[in-house]
Amino acid sequence: MNYGFIIDNRRCIGCHACTVACKAEHDTPIGVNRTWVKYVEKGSYPHTRRVFTVHRCNHCEDAPCVAICPVRSLFTREDGIVDFDRERCIGCKACMQACPYDALHIDPQIHTSTKCNYCAHRIDRGLEPACVNVCPVHAIISGDMDNSESEISRMLSRTQVSVRKPEKNTRPKLFYVEGDTAAIRPEAAPPESHYLFSAQTRGVGHFAGKNAEPQRAMPFTTAAAALVRSQEAPAVQKAVRTYDIPQKGVLWGWEVTGYLWTKSISAGVLFIPLFLNLMGLMPMAPRLELGLALVSLVFLGLTGMLLVKDLDRPMRFLYVLLRPQLKSWLARGAYIIGAFGGLTTVWLALVFLELPDGPWLRWLLVALALLTAVYTAFLMAQAKGRDLWQSPLMPFNMLLNSAMTGSAMLLLLGLITGQGLLAPALAALQVAIVLHLLVLLVEFNLPHVTRDTEAALHMITAGPLRLAFWSSVLLGNVLPLALLWSASNGLLVLPAAALVLLFTLVSEHVWVQAPQLVPLH
């Protein structure tokens, strides 16, 4: 069996019966919807028309929300329905980042992820989904697509249909008959501020959580969508969104930004000096080694605290270790961080007790530190809803951020512990900054496949994030590099290292925020 939906736009009258039936069937709280209707108006008076488009979970054959979920809260049933188990959900919001169709939300009452589940409890009893039953014009067709006798199978075989975002290769099973481009593509009719619910910012639904930032999201998404819309044909340019649910805003806020920064320091402050030491380029006194291990563990502890704080169900954070879904890089990352923290603790104990550790332990620490630095890039690559995070340069960007912060911290520790200005660390920081600037140059000058990526990059360089971005480039890369090149003693190293550490945090903020502000529906 393989269940799917067809939305017949030739019949839909935009009555919202499906939305109401869904809310009644599932007792969905005010402010959130598993199913909703989006209105888009096209043309110029008097030659205008209104398009209705029903949005919901697409029950993808290759569902990115299932792959990214670290605790198997989301799963695909044998009949093809993508369902969820709210008793396992930890509220990490990774599934919301992974869904290209913006179909998931956090239930404001129980703080777990939820979405359309095809009314699986009704399907199990031989009934149709509530929305199908209530539609007065039979615009929603459901059924088993593998059954050649079913209505949906017959329609798919003889009717031209379209899907949303086929380029994502999720193989969605929500099909549209006469689906209008202006309604299916979010940038064709960007979010506005004048229609019902568009100004919702606090108190219910998506914006009830502690991390929601919708009041900042709307100007960003409008600016980004306007940039892309200017490239469209005149007929699409005149499309106006007149009714919709609110945009969800920033889902991963300052906690995730802080976690990326603390993680980069924790990893970099070990793999840079240990690698240099193993290559015979930099001797390390035991006092410096103790400082390195302690700083790494402190920042790794802060990383764990920020990760837990970002969860909507923080008391369930151990589910990631005890009930893992190992296809998810969030689950893999938890084990990587755990192994890195455990081995660093062992190394700290050996150094403190003045016991030999051996090069094998240091090489293993270098490998785990490198994995700790870059694994989040693979997690973000699983977030298919955010195109900028799909960049193949993201792992290099994170690795170089870690090398920069690690080298900067190493320079500071060298001066504090009395080992003096560490020339190899100084060289490593300069090389890392130069490579980081080259990666940025390539990222912003190579052609990009999707409009969402272009919109996010425009917001970074010329939109509302431009001040943060250019300050991170100039004050966090160019100025420190100039100071380091002219440094003959520790006087200029201190401000250079401090600038690198501070503005790497600003840079992480930019890369976390920008793609989340591009509208998905």
All domains in the chain, ordered by first residue: 3-243 (3.30.70.20), 254-517 (1.20.1630.10)
Q: Is 356 exposed, middle or buried (0-12, 13-18, 19+ CB in 10 A)?
A: exposed
* Alpha helices (H) along 353-422: 359-382, 394-416
Which span out of 129-143, 212-226, 403-417 was modeled with the highest average pLDDT? 129-143
User: Of 156, 132, 138, 158, nearest to 146 (Cα)?
Assistant: 156
Counted residue by residue, the chain has a size of 521
Average pLDDT over residues 286-294: 92
Which span out of 199-203, 278-282, 334-338, 494-498 was modeled with the highest average pLDDT? 334-338
pLDDT digits (tens, 9 = 90+) for 346-365: 999 999 998 988 899 999 99
Q: State the pLDDT confidence band at 238, using cuts at 50, 70 and 90.
A: confident
Residue 513 scores a pLDDT above 90 = yes
pLDDT for position 490: 66
pLDDT digits (tens, 9 = 90+) for 6-17: 999 999 999 999
pLDDT for position 216: 41
Report the alpha-carbon distance of residue 216 to residue 442 in Å, rounded.
29
Q: What is the DSSP letter of 133?
A: H
Query: In this prediction, what percent of the chain has a pLDDT beyond 70?
Result: 90
Residue 123 scores a pLDDT above 90 = yes
* Phi-psi label, residue 72: left if phi above 0, alpha if psi -120 to 50, beta otherwise: left
Residue 201 scores a pLDDT above 60 = no
Total-model pTM: 0.91
pLDDT digits (tens, 9 = 90+) for 22-49: 999 999 988 889 999 999 998 888 888 8
